[in-house]
Structure 1
Amino acid sequence: MHTTLQQLRLFEAVARHGSFTRAAHEAHLSQPAVSIQVKRLEEQVGMGLFDSVGRALVLTPAGEELLAASRDILDRLEALDTALDDLRGDMAGPLRVAAVTTAKYFMPHLMGTFLRRHPKVRPVLSVINRANLLERLAVNQDDLFITGRVPGGLPVKAVPFLDNVIVAIAAPDHPLAARPGIPVSALAEYRVLKRELGSGTRSAVERAFEEAGLSVAPFMELGSDEAIKQAVQAGLGIAFLSAYCLGPELQTGRLVVLDVAGFPLTRKWYAVQRANRPLSRAAEAFLAFMRDEAVVQAAMLR
């Protein structure tokens, strides 16, 4: 086989995404360009690499073998690149971080401060939902995974680095807005907006409800913190969000924090890595930076 590294990278991306279109988007190429490279790879292998099952792409046995080899090769090349940077004494090389959506309010700022100190590091920050983060964690796609809940079922190391403070919010003209000492049970009388199932914030709030013997069905489910904030401002109900995503709205009075018994909830943000995968020098440095300085850096955003 006379395979190019580009072909292996594109094939690995198609296999990981299960889609030529998403792989092309990741590689900043057209979908036909990616298809052509995979087709050439199939010609060299002499067998098909994918089967179409409905609208899904499924690896053939030959594809499974090639995927394992591709990842070995690409991982070894990345390790070589990092080792050469270390020999040169540079803090350099790739730094791949995946973060759940709520972390988008502070992770770019943390990464920006880190990169000003280490400008040769090549960062990739992927802000995704929890389901996608777990998929990427399962295949070791990133160095660090930022989440409010440590995933189960996989061998991982988790380092807490920042408090995740979850507060109850409402529009300033909501009946509960000026009420002190609101019992949790009173929330059942009002419309409650929630994030989608699987959201770490939603899970934390529902656990708090359960501990209070309360079950509150969502009046509406929304898929992002921004959508929740807009809905609350529109008077559709009350909600619970991380304080890190509320700075501008609280400062301008578009939202208010409710005085609910048992709130705010204080959880942790974790930097998670696969237990069997050593971190690169850049990732180790970024983890140490977050562990030692995240609290100070994030305080500037609130």
Structure 2
Amino acid sequence: MNITLKQLKILEAVVEFNSYTDAAKALFMTQPAVSMQIKQMEMQIGLPLFEREGKQISLAEAGSELLHYARNIRQQLEEAALMIEELKGLKRGKLHLTMASTANYFAPQLIAAFHHEYPGAQVTLDVANRTGLLDALDNNTTDMVIMGKPPKGHNVTAIRFMDNPLVVIASPSHPLATQKRLIPLKQLADEPFIVRERASGTRIAAEKFFAVHNLQLTTGMEMNRSEAIKQAVMAELGLGIVSLHTIEMELALKRLVVLKIEDFPIMRQWHIVHRNGKRFAAIPEAFKNYVLEHAESLINIVPLEINHKDTP
């Protein structure tokens, strides 16, 4: 098989734009030239890359597999180019981060501190839900991911760098908000909760926690962002379970309260996750080391008593 790097780039462009014409414009080529290159690749492998129905195209199985390798090759070439630049003494480099939406509440502080130390770093930041994070890892389209629970069976390395307490939040006007004594967990069984989508790490952790205590989390409404959950809780639509990192401002303004619940918080951790065996250029490697060394001292969260005790 004699497929060129140019042809792999064309394949990526056609998939990205889902159009030969738009891919040609992006690559400064003609539409017939793009079509010809795709046909040459199909002749090389003996299988169709796209399924065609009228003017609509979609990836065939062979195209999907070849796309995966094309992305890996491009990523490796970009890493090689950065390494060559560093060997030439260029004090700059690129960093591509993908992170869970919840991490976006503290990650800018880390990036700002890192950029102060490495002003030549060019940072690209993507925020995604758990499905998007796993896609970025599987397709090797990012240097590293910042997320809560690392995935299993995805050929990745995960490194813990900071605690991530999950707490129960309520509107200050909620009846439980003024309760001084430790609230039994079973008292929450009938309370409606505003929850994240099912694939969310926070949702998974909360449901597992309740199940371990032989209880079921009562779902009132489902939201796909922590910000939406906070707004719903402030509107007195129910309770919420969120990362403590996400509510610093609301607690300071007394728009939300953290309930004192038996066996809470649910203690999770933040991780840096990347593909096994991934070779980092200097800037991504420096960022990973910087986070592992400085994250806990840079990120300030509201003090929280971890092992609650009942009070008179």
Match of 1:131 in 2: 131
Match of 2:114 in 1: 114
More deviation in 35-44 or 181-190?
Answer: 35-44
**What is the Cα deviation at residue 37 of structure 1?**
5.0
Spell out structure 1 runs of 4+ moving beyond 6 A.
Answer: 1-4, 53-56
- Distance in 2 between residues matched to 1:14 and 1:270, nearest whole Å: 34
Map of 1:148-167 to 2, 5 A cutoff? 148-167=148-167
The answer to whether the Cα contact below 8 Å between 2:190 and 2:218 also exists between their aligned partners in 1 is: no
Map of 1:164-203 to 2, 5 A cutoff? 164-179=164-179, 180-203=181-204
**What is the Cα deviation at residue 144 of structure 1?**
0.7
* TM-score, normalised relative to structure 2: 0.82
* TM-score, normalised relative to structure 1: 0.85
**What is the Cα deviation at residue 266 of structure 1?**
1.5
The answer to whether the Cα contact below 8 Å between 1:106 and 1:301 also exists between their aligned partners in 2 is: no
Counterpart code for 2:35: E
Which residue, out of 34, 44, 52, partners 2:37? 44
**What is the Cα deviation at residue 100 of structure 1?**
1.0
More deviation in 278-287 or 235-244?
Answer: 278-287
Q: Secondary structure at the match of 1:181?
A: coil
Question: How many residues align structurally?
Answer: 291
Question: Which consecutive residues of structure 2, in runs of 5 or more, have no partner in the other structure?
Answer: 41-47, 304-312
Distance 1:92 1:196, change over 3 A: same
The answer to whether the Cα contact below 8 Å between 1:155 and 1:276 also exists between their aligned partners in 2 is: no
Counterpart code for 1:194: V
Map of 1:243-282 to 2, 5 A cutoff? 243-282=244-283
Counterpart code for 2:74: L
**What is the Cα deviation at residue 103 of structure 1?**
0.6
The answer to whether the Cα contact below 8 Å between 2:196 and 2:222 also exists between their aligned partners in 1 is: yes
Counterpart code for 1:42: S
Map of 1:209-248 to 2, 5 A cutoff? 209-248=210-249
The answer to whether the Cα contact below 8 Å between 2:75 and 2:141 also exists between their aligned partners in 1 is: no
- Distance in 2 between residues matched to 1:38 and 1:151, nearest whole Å: 42
- Distance in 2 between residues matched to 1:66 and 1:60, nearest whole Å: 9
**Residues 248-298 of structure 1, C-alpha deviation per residue, up to 9 Å, x if partnerless?**
111001100101111112210000111132222211111100000011111
- Distance in 2 between residues matched to 1:287 and 1:269, nearest whole Å: 13
**What is the Cα deviation at residue 200 of structure 1?**
0.8
Distance 1:287 1:177, change over 3 A: same
- Distance in 1 between residues matched to 2:270 and 2:30, nearest whole Å: 39
Match of 2:25 in 1: 33
- Distance in 1 between residues matched to 2:116 and 2:60, nearest whole Å: 42
More deviation in 169-178 or 180-189?
Answer: 180-189
- Distance in 1 between residues matched to 2:218 and 2:249, nearest whole Å: 28
Match of 2:307 in 1: none
Match of 2:45 in 1: none
- Distance in 1 between residues matched to 2:274 and 2:201, nearest whole Å: 18
Counterpart code for 2:291: M
- Distance in 2 between residues matched to 1:269 and 1:248, nearest whole Å: 20
- Distance in 2 between residues matched to 1:86 and 1:286, nearest whole Å: 15
The answer to whether the Cα contact below 8 Å between 2:71 and 2:141 also exists between their aligned partners in 1 is: no
The answer to whether the Cα contact below 8 Å between 1:91 and 1:282 also exists between their aligned partners in 2 is: no
Q: Secondary structure at the match of 1:279?
A: coil
- Distance in 1 between residues matched to 2:66 and 2:168, nearest whole Å: 50
Q: Does residue 1:20 correspond to 2:12, yes or no?
A: no
Counterpart code for 2:67: L
Map of 1:135-146 to 2, 5 A cutoff? 135-146=135-146
User: Rg bigger for which structure?
Assistant: 2
Distance 1:230 1:53, change over 3 A: farther
The answer to whether the Cα contact below 8 Å between 2:166 and 2:265 also exists between their aligned partners in 1 is: yes
- Distance in 2 between residues matched to 1:153 and 1:214, nearest whole Å: 29
Counterpart code for 1:206: E
Q: Percent identity?
A: 34
